[in-house]
Structure 1
Amino acid sequence: MNFKQLEAFYWLSQFGNYRQTAEYLGLTQPAVSARIQSLEKDLGKTLIDREAQAFALTDQGLEVAEFAVQFLNLREAMMGRLQDKRKRRLTVGLAGMAALTWGPLLRDAVAAADPDLLLDIYSGSDLQLRRFVEAGTLDAAFTASGDRAPGADFSVRYEVGWVARPDVIDGQSLPMSADDLRALPLVLYPKTSPLFNPVAEYVADMRDRPAPRHYGNALATICELVRLGYGASALALTALEPDIAAGDVVEIATTEPLPPLNVACTHVNRARRKQVGAVLDLAREAAQSWCAEHGRYASFHEL
């Protein structure tokens, strides 16, 4: 088994078409077919269901495709670090809340402290960042779920509350109960988010849906949906702090509080401990500095 076989198989699993795969890889269709057949022979497994009416993978093919993408990510990460010999590169994953708050301070601090270090920042959900960690793409990750990484000695706590455009809750009595909130149109995180379960349980949202339910796959998207009046949402309040201050969005008083969101470092590449440690120190300073200026809805905590 070799990388070219896995590469051909992965892209075939994505395109579901030999011609498109061949064009993408700059190969002929017979060459792609030969690589797939050679991979099947090396693994001793049938990966393509050739009896299906349309292109389909076998169960073993689906498993191999998941591993193949991890190999591709590892190769990309390795090549990125080796291609520019004059520069050193670190990749850090930041949960959306961290990327939008103290992330820019971290970026600028790294650039000032070590101009020869290239810092790549991956922003995404906890699930997305976890997949990057599993694929070996990230040197460090700051998320709201998972065990704290050894040597990571701080977290940022974001206060979570309900918000909406004023017209969405016009005429409602405050504070609002869970039943009151259930009657509103809501903007929710996807089920893969650490915020989904607490919010779904709070409003018992899975029982029935008396009003529309909208979903956003990123913090920035959810904030924009709230601004546009799609509905009320429970999120880290600092994300909409300027809108709340201007009165364009209101914080909804409720009868029951929601637990805060704690973001901490949950992954460190032990093979690059020294380089990552220096960035963690800068991240600590950046988070502490940002929280000192935005203490209404966020706070810095020693661990």
Structure 2
Amino acid sequence: MSNVSASFPWYYRPLSWLLMGLASLPLAVLYVIADGIYLLLAYGLRYRWKVITENLGKAFPKKSAAEVERLGKDFYRHFSQVVVEILKLQTISAEELRRRARFQNPEVMENAFQQGRTVLSLGSHAGNWEWILSSAATYFPGKSHGVYKPLSNKFFEYFMRRLRTRLGAELVPMRDTLRDMIRQRGQTRTLALLTDQAAGPEDQPYWTDFLHQDTGFYTGADRLAARFQCPVLYVGIRRVRRGYYDIILTELYDGVSPIGADEHFITEAFARQLERDIQAAPAEYLWSHRRWKHKR
């Protein structure tokens, strides 16, 4: 685990103790708490309900209002479980996480590692996205790095960094991605990016039809793969049952073939894979963020 120092105001100490106490509870107990969170979200707070139902209505235009309402509540149930599962990363053992979040085809990553390659792993806010990096750190020790956006709140930045690196993963601030790639050129590792956030005009996004919407995607993976000749994998995750996930790797680019004229074919392939996964399990995507807030 990378060095994570605790430099936050003293008045966050009680919250830190509370969260650590909760994380020490068995997952079976935490899922009871998750059921309570679900009821509070679905029938009390209605957290970001308008954003959720608008997103679902746009993504699934053939569904009725009642079906969208049901999907929204299914999302709340999924989200509540993911919240406690993420918290459990503070105490879960590497053995238990490997049992609960299993790479179905780790050889896809291992084949690239055998060639001494840096691999770009593209993920999204689907399933339990936070378990993927920590699980990868148990499958591929010393080789799992994740790009992340630092939080402005000092306590939550400390808490989430410790949570994410506890089982051996390393973190790279988003603004340092290119510098990190140059510094570690030729290292055998995977650099994971969540590339489904809503890219704004200043990001010069790649626009494509995604879930029936004109959608802008970040193009960092295209540029990094072209510059460093990195293999690129799509990382899909699906819930098998409560508390258990399958992680599936799909090669998008082998790191050898010429990029050609279609400079954004990696991002396009990522969008198509993600679209299929969302359509297969619509409640397991993070619908509470404004995915289509930017226009071309």
TM-score normalized with structure 1 length: 0.29
> Looking at CA atoms only, which structure, 1 or 2, has the larger radius of gyration?
1
TM-score normalized with structure 2 length: 0.29
